[in-house]
């Protein structure tokens, strides 16, 4: 009898393990349904279709839009709630109305996702009288249930999905979709068919699934009086106290409506953690009880025939029962720890336990496939969001660059008008001063006085040069020289003659590497002006102490000039000019300012802060560019020197064409953004 009792206990434990696994799979399927609804609503709320629809309608939706999505997604209702708590659009359609303050608070503090909530009859009526009527369920007196004064249940158990909706970066509101669980027989049938597919249970046993609103069955596959669903019946009082009262999971036999079942009950929780219902799975106990009875008869017959043979049979039977049990419990523990690949495998036997293990593995395979499918969909969605974000960032960057170029052109035009006025006001008194200085020079014979006059004359000429450079920078087209096909190598050699004295004073050595063979379309005088300015700046950088550079580079003050033929990113030919010195490096904070007007780091009287801005303007006017890099050598610290790089197009592009293309690019970007591309 002890052996029989142990076998009966093991058999019962197998049934409990079976119903526990059924409960885990049922809860996972219920969670998958919630997540699929949430993902579907999220995909629609973030879709290009919805954004285009909002743009076309001025950021608004209508009830027909919500109706189409609610019917597609299987929602009992779908409504758009503004950030202020106003229901703007809804399906079933209603006039706009304001949510209660408590409902607003509960919605506002929930994150986007899916939740199981319990809605009062008033909340259901606010949504739709039709939804409220569908939720009403008559309560049927049930054996073993606790006494209740209620005759009907008019509240609704709802899977609620929340997703925010944005329009042009502004939050339009929340989309709230509701899947009504009251009377939702399709959902429980789907879950029940997944768990208790054919040949999952013993012949004669019936698998059942139920969703409770508190202790009332609102969606169930349990039958009463033949074919009628047991909707409105209530759970037994002992189960109610355990699951709803203490929040426990019930895993044992229970009386369900009119028969005994191997049952599993788990509480359904609201977002606030309140127990608002129960989730139940179970199967009819009678066929399994008959199996136990048959086993008892066989056991007694075996004992009566031969004690030894009976003992051997008992040992074999008990070992055969415990192994599948331990195996299934072990697989369950692995699954709970996250090992989704764990399976029971081949038990090398042909009996009910082998069938149970095979069906259990099949259910795990189905669950794993569902999980993999959801993960794949999630990854695809994330990749689409990342790609769209990258496209928008690139478009925004192009738009920003184009706007900056156009703004710079507008500022330059305004500055040109202002500078022209200032130059006019300056030139008149400067001309008078120069004329009087000439008269004074004629009348004076004193060498000291003539020296003073010469100094005044130099300063007046310096002021006129500053005015001319300002005009040249701000109104370049009026000072543009005649362009011609020129050899940059010859221009560089001519420019060195103008600054030979400064190079000798800086004790600088010149190095040349003239590799460029192509000619460029440029003004000869303007290119000489650019080269003279860069060479003078290079000689100034070589002044002062040179001990550190000599120790690191093993060479004296040096100016290197290189030319080469290159091709631009648009495929057009160009000539590159590098002017490099090994003097002091330009600090990084100053490197960003050297092309700004009137910025200079030289001593007073030596620099105006116009040389580099004017040089860059002259180069850019013909489609080229000028920029600086510092330090440039050696490869390890300490590093010194600076390199100014000029790129000149072989076929010049007038500045007007460049500005025209910039404007066209800006219009194209704006058009693409407006079309959602």
- State which CATH number among 3.20.19.10, 3.30.565.10, 3.40.50.2020, 3.40.50.1970 fits the domain covering 480-659: 3.30.565.10
- Rounded alpha-carbon distances, angstroms, from residue 55 to 176, 380, 624, 673: 21, 25, 41, 12
Radius of gyration over alpha carbons of the chain, in Å? 44
- State which CATH number among 1.20.5, 3.30.70, 3.40.50, 3.30.450 fits the domain covering 35-180: 3.30.450
| Residue 541 pLDDT greater than 70, yes or no | yes
Nearest to 178 by CA among 106, 98, 271, 115: 115
Dump the DSSP string for 520-565. Answer: EEEEHHHHHHHHHHHHHHHHHHT-S--HHHHHHHSS-SEEEEEEEE
Find out whether 201 and 291 touch, Cβ atoms under 8 Å. no
The mean pLDDT of 76-92, rounded to a whole number, is 88
| Residue 661 pLDDT greater than 70, yes or no | no
Find out whether 124 and 89 touch, Cβ atoms under 8 Å. no
Q: How many whole angstroms from its chain centre is CA 140?
A: 52
Q: How confident is the model at residue 48 (pLDDT cuts 50, 70, 90)?
A: confident
Find out whether 313 and 302 touch, Cβ atoms under 8 Å. yes
The mean pLDDT of 190-195, rounded to a whole number, is 91
Rounded Cα–Cα distance for residues 341 and 368 (Å): 8
CA contacts within 13 A on the Cβ side of 542: 25
Find out whether 239 and 256 touch, Cβ atoms under 8 Å. no
pLDDT of residue 257: 86
Find out whether 325 and 13 touch, Cβ atoms under 8 Å. yes
Rounded Cα–Cα distance for residues 469 and 598 (Å): 11
DSSP letter at 655 equals H
Nearest to 601 by CA among 626, 584, 615: 584
Map residue 98 onto helix, strand or coil. strand
pLDDT digit string, tens, across residues 454-469:
778 777 776 776 676 6
Q: How confident is the model at residue 666 (pLDDT cuts 50, 70, 90)?
A: very low
The mean pLDDT of 639-664, rounded to a whole number, is 73
Beta strand 275-284 with 207-213: parallel, antiparallel or unpaired? Answer: antiparallel
Across the chain, mean pLDDT equals 82
* Cis-peptide into 92, omega within 30 deg: yes
pLDDT of residue 424: 65
pLDDT digit string, tens, across residues 507-540:
888 999 999 999 999 988 889 889 989 999 888 8
| Residue 235 pLDDT greater than 50, yes or no | yes
Q: 165-169, 368-372, 608-612: which has the minimum mean pLDDT?
A: 608-612
pLDDT of residue 208: 93
Q: With 0-12 CB in 10 A as exposed, 13-18 as middle and 19+ as buried, what is 49? A: exposed
Beta strand 97-98 with 86-91: parallel, antiparallel or unpaired? Answer: antiparallel
| Residue 677 pLDDT greater than 90, yes or no | no
pLDDT of residue 106: 64
| Residue 183 pLDDT greater than 80, yes or no | yes
Nearest to 647 by CA among 575, 553, 582, 561: 575
Rounded Cα–Cα distance for residues 366 and 357 (Å): 14
Q: Which of 110-119, 253-262, 336-345, 600-609 has the highest mean pLDDT?
A: 253-262
pLDDT of residue 662: 47
Map residue 546 onto helix, strand or coil. coil
Rounded Cα–Cα distance for residues 591 and 537 (Å): 14
| Residue 124 pLDDT greater than 80, yes or no | yes
Q: Which of 42-51, 264-273, 283-292, 606-615 has the highest mean pLDDT?
A: 264-273
| Residue 472 pLDDT greater than 80, yes or no | no
Bridge partner list, 447: none
The mean pLDDT of 254-264, rounded to a whole number, is 89
Domain boundaries, the chain: 35-180, 343-474, 480-659
pTM of the predicted structure, to 2 decimals: 0.45
Q: Six-digit token pair at 288?
A: 């399994």
Higher-confidence position of 293 and 42: 42
């Amino acid at each position: 009898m002890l052996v029989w009792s142990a076998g009966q206990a093991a058999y019962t434990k197998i049934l409990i393990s079976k119903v526990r696994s059924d409960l885990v799979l049922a809860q996972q399927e219920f969670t998958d349904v919630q997540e699929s609804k949430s993902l579907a609503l999220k995909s629609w709320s973030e879709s290009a279709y919805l954004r285009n629809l909002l743009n076309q309608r001025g950021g608004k939706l209508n009830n027909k839009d919500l109706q189409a999505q609610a019917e597609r997604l299987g929602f009992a209702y779908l409504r758009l709630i503004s950030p202020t708590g106003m229901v703007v659009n809804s399906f079933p359609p209603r006039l706009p109305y304001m949510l209660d303050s408590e409902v607003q608070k509960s919605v506002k503090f929930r994150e986007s996702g899916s939740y199981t909530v319990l809605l009062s009859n008033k909340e259901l009526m606010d949504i739709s009288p039709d939804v409220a009527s569908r939720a009403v369920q008559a309560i049927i007196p049930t054996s073993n249930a606790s006494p209740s004064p209620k005759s009907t249940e008019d509240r609704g158990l709802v899977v609620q999905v929340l997703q925010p909706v944005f329009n042009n970066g502004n939050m339009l509101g929340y989309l709230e979709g509701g899947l009504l669980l009251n009377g939702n027989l399709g959902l429980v049938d789907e879950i029940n068919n997944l768990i208790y597919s054919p040949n999952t249970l013993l012949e004669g046993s019936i698998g059942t699934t139920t969703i409770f609103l508190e202790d009332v069955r609102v969606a169930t596959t349990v039958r009463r009086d033949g074919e009628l669903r047991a909707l409105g019946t209530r759970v037994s009082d002992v189960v109610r106290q355990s699951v709803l009262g203490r929040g426990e999971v019930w895993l044992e036999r229970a009386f369900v409506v009119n028969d005994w079942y191997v049952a599993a009950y788990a509480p359904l929780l609201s977002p606030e953690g309140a127990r608002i219902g129960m989730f139940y799975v179970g199967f009819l106990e009678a066929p399994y009880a008959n199996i136990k009875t048959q086993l008892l008869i066989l056991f007694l017959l075996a004992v009566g025939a031969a004690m030894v043979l009976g003992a051997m049979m008992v040992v074999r039977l008990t070992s055969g029962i415990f192994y599948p049990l331990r195996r299934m419990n072990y697989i369950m523990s692995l699954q709970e720890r996250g090992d989704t690949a764990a399976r029971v495998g081949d038990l090398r036997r042909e009996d009910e336990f082998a069938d149970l293990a095979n069906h259990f593995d099949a259910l795990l395979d189905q669950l794993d496939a569902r999980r993999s499918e959801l993960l794949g969909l999630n990854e695809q969605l994330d990749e689409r969001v990342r790609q769209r974000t990258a496209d928008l960032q690139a478009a925004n960057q192009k738009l920003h660059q184009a706007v900056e170029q156009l703004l710079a052109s507008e500022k330059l035009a305004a500055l040109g008008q202002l500078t022209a006025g200032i130059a006019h006001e300056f030139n008149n008194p400067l001309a008078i001063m120069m004329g009087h200085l000439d008269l004074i020079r004629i009348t004076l014979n004193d060498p000291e006085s003539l020296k003073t006059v010469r100094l005044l004359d130099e300063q007046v000429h310096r002021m006129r040069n500053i005015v001319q450079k300002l005009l040249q920078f701000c109104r370049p087209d009026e000072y543009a020289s005649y362009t011609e096909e020129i050899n940059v190598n010859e221009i560089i050699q001519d420019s060195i003659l103008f600054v030979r004295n400064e190079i000798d004073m800086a004790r600088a050595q010149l190095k040349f590497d003239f590799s460029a063979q192509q000619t460029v379309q440029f003004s000869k005088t303007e290119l000489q002006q650019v080269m003279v300015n860069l060479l003078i700046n290079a000689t100034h950088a070589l002044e002062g102490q040179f001990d550190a550079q000599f120790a690191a580079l093993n060479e004296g003050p040096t100016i290197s000039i290189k030319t080469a033929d290159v091709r631009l990113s648009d495929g057009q030919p160009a000539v590159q000019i590098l002017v490099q010195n090994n003097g002091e490096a330009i600090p990084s904070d100053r490197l960003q300012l050297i092309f700004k007007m009137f910025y200079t780091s030289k001593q007073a009287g030596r620099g105006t802060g116009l040389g580099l801005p004017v040089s860059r303007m002259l180069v850019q006017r013909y489609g080229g560019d000028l920029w600086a890099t510092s330090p440039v050598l050696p490869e390890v610290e300490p590093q010194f020197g600076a390199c100014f790089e000029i790129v000149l197009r072989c076929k010049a592009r007038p500045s007007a064409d460049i500005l025209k293309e910039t404007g066209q690019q800006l219009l194209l970007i704006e058009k693409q953004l407006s079309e959602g591309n």
